[in-house]
Structure 1
Amino acid sequence: MARIALVTGATGYIGGRLVPELLAAGFAVRCLVRTPSKLRDQPWSQDVEIVPGDVGDPDAVRRAVAGADVAYYLVHSLGSGKSFERRDRDLARAFVRGARSGGAGRLVYLGGLYPDVADLSPHLDSRKEVGEILLDSGVPTAVLRAAVILGSGSASFEMLRYLTERLPVMLTPRWVDNRIQPIAVRDVLRYLVRAADLPDDVSRGFDIGGPDVLTYRQMMRRYANVAGLPRRSIWGVNVLTPRLSSHWVGLVTPVPNSIARPLVESLVHEVVCKEHDVAEYVPDPPEGLVGFDQAVELALAKVQAYDVATTWSSASTPGAPSDPLPTDPDWAGGTLYVDDRSVRVAADRVSLWSVIEGIGGRNGWYSWPLGWWARGVLDRISGGPGLRRGRRNPYDLAVGDALDWWRVEELDDLSLLRLRAEMRVPGLAWLELIAGDDPDGGSTFRQRAIFAPRGLAGQAYWLAVKPFHGIVFGGMQRGIAAAAEAAANQADESAAKWRRSGNLPGTLGGRQG
């Protein structure tokens, strides 16, 4: 019979990634959530038992933990306001009462790595206190203490991502040179899963970290190198207090200030593992722990092969723990700009698709020919393909075809044409053309231009071209719709001529054959 694992915080960053790892390890997983509908879009939602309830309700916890071999406490109140420390304390105590009375076999908590100093930041002090509450529960407990977790969706990683990508030159507080021992999210998850197997007499905290000890300055520069950005100029100054720094981070990044401020305040501490005792129970993998550069590569890999049919925060089933999840906050996963337009077309879907599949080359792009020509010339001057490549076949496309400065990335007949830009732009760009049926007759045409900027140049590029989107993309949509309607009308006229002549299928000169 499969062991049972209860997961609290399944809608959060770590919890949403831990569940599939536990399922893969053979656990029967039970999720305690206040709002079950938030797990509806998770790819694993049908494979777990979802129990409605609040982690702050001991009775709900007791019912949810009944029969569980291990209960994961992955709840914290960062971002909930000034009183998050008190809320964290109250929730932890309520959880302990419920877990103890429900007979949980083991508790596992992911907390924060902290130094041995008296004046910890409120964020780290709260994490430390919650760990102590769980360890004092009387139930065997493993407290895993981690610093910056490297993976798309992690608040600390997103802060690092946005600061590095958006600011080629930075004035930073002196803490930029404090040492940090980050850890890849996949190593965190490995420790969490294996913590369920600890002997019953092991009840303690463990420091967990990756193989690299870096300053925040070094992390930003190495991120820039992995992301293909120019070297960042970073200058530390004394006048920037944690409060001022958090407001600055809130201004530059989409990370909410209620989250950024506690994280920034915690950066005044050096957070380096004091021990690696966890290896006695969970040995390092043969290939070693994931290093900083590889962890960043994994976190950015989804950008390179992104399924642009979705947004970052509603991405399809992730292939790795570093990938975005549906429950990640809207600000996680990096910047993605989208120009999304939909219109009803007075033409059947086949007529609309014939125009979509015939786009480009000699047929053109159905809007502002001079603008397209000028952009093509600029692209060729900068070393790109411009519009000179045309297309392989005037009527038919296949995945992998070159199409002017685009490449056909995906093709679903009568439904979807996705083009990836190969022009010279500071980022990654796609154009998606989608045909559908209109319930009221005719068809629908959805057009999406998607851009993932690279660095400040990418941000500036999008802002510079955005005013022209109405001319380029709006005109393009109107032109395609008009061409589809004209094609449908021409087909109707041809059919009418055939009917008048009597030369219909199954007839000969108006008489049955």
Structure 2
Amino acid sequence: MRILVTGATGYVGGRLVPLLLDQGHDVRCLTRSPDRLRDIPWSPRVEVAVGDVATGKGIAEALDGIEVVYYLVHALGRRDFARVDRRSARNLAEAAEKAGVTRVVYLGGPVVHGPDVSAHLRSRGEVAEIFLNAEVPATVLRAAVIIGSGSASFEMLRHLTERLPVMVTPRWVSNRVQPIAIRDVLHYLAAAPGAFPAEVNRGFDIAGPDVLTYAQMMQRYARVAGLPPRVLLPVRALSPWLSSHWVGLVTPVPNAIARPLVGSLVHEAVASEHDIADYVPDPPGGLTGFDTAVRLALRRIAESTVETSWANASVLGAPAEPLPTDPSWSGRSVYTDVRRRAVNASPEALWDVIESVGGERGWYSFPLAWAVRGWLDRAVGGVGLRRGRRDPRRLRLGEALDFWRVEEIVPGELLRLRAEMRLPGRAWLEMRVRPHRDGSLYEQRAVFLPKGLAGHAYWASVVPFHAVVFGGMARNIGRAAERAK
């Protein structure tokens, strides 16, 4: 089937396209900026059409020969997002009719009734009505909070819970929500092209198996993430407007996005039906529970953060994993210290120095600082620096090295160490060798994944020493290689 995906560089679209490709569909992606698709692993497998649904430019050409259109565009983040969304939906609906498209699939929000519906949910509902009242049959999937790294709602939940062990909370944390895992959203979306007869033109609630309050979601997130229970202090006077600014201050989610999302949380969002199962069976094994969805997101983030290494462009295939097109504010907080140094020595000479770090030779910078860190670690029950190393010149995968563990070693290229000292988080140290002109390039990266507020505070406390410790380490390793060449 020939399919057009709008919003392919967005959170959901970027994860849906490879599923459609794997099902054998011919996929075309409509985008205003083709460069945004360049670094995505699946981009060579799709046809790219340049256009803009908001202006109508390029839509007719993009729809040529298309059978099914996915509408995954949302102007959230703009002051006039509701007006832009209405115009964009009408442009697409009219062009789809002229092009002979057989179905439009739209991912919207929950249906909420009443005079005080938030601007965000009202806009979602308006777009749904535009497609359902158009000539081309539409499938509207209505989801509340989507659980997965990169989802704006999930990012707010993540950062609020991780950064605030004690929270002053507004009334909306007691409202019930029925979240859904990103993998289940994609399950329904990917099945849509062949699932619905031509006469089906309606909306469907899609939701996970758990109905929770926002407060319960924060507490369960904390438990899955290994954090202590959060202390929540409800304050009825904290309005949605004030809440949005509070969320914008505490989390990296931009105010322009947090404001309409927080405004939507004043409404309960519980599915009223599960009619989608009449056309698309539930995923094998059933719908994903909240705890499992969070666990998948956190595990993928922790693994890919280090494995992505220097370029942040590894091939990531699971829905919970980050993608290059995800916004800069999404994903778990990751602190890094990166150093690069051109070395006037061969890669072999530089590698010999790297592989001999630790033990009797030390860490090539500020010995007293390393010693103090080891003493402090032992004082709190850690391993300290007493383990040394097995061999003064060679390392093996999995062996101990002072208060590190060799997690990855590629002889002549890469040494990755995982910290085993007592920390409020997880830490790695990478050292890499690359050929460079007549010598070599030394690349050093320290990575820290904080755990809770204590983790953020720990990183802030050690940052002032990084220039001496890590900067000195990069300089002295390079100099040692130059002396030994």
Structure-1 separation of matches of 2:7 and 2:446: 35
Residue 391 (structure 2) pairs with residue 407 (structure 1)? no
Task: Name the CA shift for 1:274/1:230 in 2 (closer, same or farther; >3 Å).
Answer: same
Letter in structure 2 aligned against 1:383: G
Structure 1 spans left out of the alignment, 5+ residues: 489-513
Paired residue secondary structure (2:471): helix
Letter in structure 1 aligned against 2:388: G
Residue 399 (structure 2) pairs with residue 393 (structure 1)? no
Output aligned runs, 1:335-346, within 5 Å. Answer: 335-346=333-344
2:482 alignment counterpart = 485
Structure-2 separation of matches of 1:485 and 1:58: 61
1:348 alignment counterpart = 346
Structure-2 separation of matches of 1:316 and 1:305: 11
Structure-1 separation of matches of 2:392 and 2:58: 64
Aligned-pair CA distance for 1:277 = 0.6
Structure-2 separation of matches of 1:71 and 1:270: 30
Output aligned runs, 1:20-169, within 5 Å. Answer: 20-58=18-56, 60-80=58-78, 82-169=79-166
Paired residue secondary structure (2:360): helix
1:322 alignment counterpart = 320
Structure-2 separation of matches of 1:258 and 1:411: 44
Letter in structure 2 aligned against 1:299: A
Paired residue secondary structure (2:434): strand
Aligned-pair CA distance for 1:347 = 1.6
Paired residue secondary structure (1:400): coil
C-alpha deviations, 1:458-513, integer Å up to 9, x for none?
0000001111111111111111111111101xxxxxxxxxxxxxxxxxxxxxxxxx
C-alpha deviations, 1:235-262, integer Å up to 9, x for none?
1111211111111111101100000000
Structure-2 separation of matches of 1:91 and 1:205: 19
Structure-2 separation of matches of 1:172 and 1:378: 37
Residue 185 (structure 2) pairs with residue 188 (structure 1)? yes
Aligned-pair CA distance for 1:305 = 2.0
Equivalent of 1:456, from 453, 457, 465? 453
Structure 1: which 4+ aligned runs deviate by more than 4 Å?
A: none
Structure-1 separation of matches of 2:310 and 2:35: 19
Contact 1:61 1:102 in 2 (8 A): no
Contact 2:4 2:70 in 1 (8 A): yes
Contact 1:313 1:326 in 2 (8 A): no
Contact 2:170 2:243 in 1 (8 A): yes
C-alpha deviations, 1:360-409, integer Å up to 9, x for none?
11111011111111111221222222112222222112222221111112
Structure 2 spans left out of the alignment, 5+ residues: none
2:17 alignment counterpart = 19
Output aligned runs, 1:150-229, within 5 Å. Answer: 150-197=147-194, 198-229=196-227
Aligned-pair CA distance for 1:10 = 0.4
Task: Name the CA shift for 1:177/1:312 in 2 (closer, same or farther; >3 Å).
Answer: farther
C-alpha deviations, 1:113-166, integer Å up to 9, x for none?
132223210000000000111111110100001000000000000000000000
Once the two structures are overlaid, the 10-residue window that deviates more, 251-260 or 365-374, is 365-374
Output aligned runs, 1:292-303, within 5 Å. Answer: 292-303=290-301
Structure-2 separation of matches of 1:285 and 1:306: 25
* Root mean square deviation of aligned Cα: 1.4
Matched residues, percent identical? 61
TM-score calculated relative to the size of structure 2: 0.97
Contact 1:408 1:417 in 2 (8 A): yes
Letter in structure 1 aligned against 2:255: N
2:270 alignment counterpart = 272
Structure-1 separation of matches of 2:439 and 2:324: 33
Contact 2:304 2:321 in 1 (8 A): no
C-alpha deviations, 1:52-103, integer Å up to 9, x for none?
11123446222212222210000000012x1110011111111111111111
Structure-2 separation of matches of 1:321 and 1:367: 41
Structure-2 separation of matches of 1:191 and 1:454: 34
Contact 1:313 1:330 in 2 (8 A): no
2:369 alignment counterpart = 371
Structure-1 separation of matches of 2:174 and 2:310: 32
Equivalent of 1:241, from 213, 216, 239? 239
Paired residue secondary structure (2:237): coil
C-alpha deviations, 1:22-56, integer Å up to 9, x for none?
11222111101111110111110111111111123
Contact 1:315 1:324 in 2 (8 A): no
Once the two structures are overlaid, the 10-residue window that deviates more, 314-323 or 368-377, is 314-323
Task: Name the CA shift for 1:312/1:348 in 2 (closer, same or farther; >3 Å).
Answer: closer
Structure-1 separation of matches of 2:212 and 2:121: 19
Aligned residues: 484
Task: Name the CA shift for 1:127/1:47 in 2 (closer, same or farther; >3 Å).
Answer: same
Paired residue secondary structure (2:58): helix
Once the two structures are overlaid, the 10-residue window that deviates more, 179-188 or 44-53, is 44-53
Structure-2 separation of matches of 1:56 and 1:463: 43
Structure-2 separation of matches of 1:58 and 1:164: 41
Structure-2 separation of matches of 1:201 and 1:43: 37
1:418 alignment counterpart = 416
Aligned-pair CA distance for 1:265 = 0.5
Paired residue secondary structure (2:91): helix
Structure-2 separation of matches of 1:30 and 1:59: 16
Contact 1:60 1:98 in 2 (8 A): no
Aligned-pair CA distance for 1:188 = 0.3
Structure-2 separation of matches of 1:254 and 1:154: 13
Contact 2:187 2:283 in 1 (8 A): no
Letter in structure 2 aligned against 1:370: L
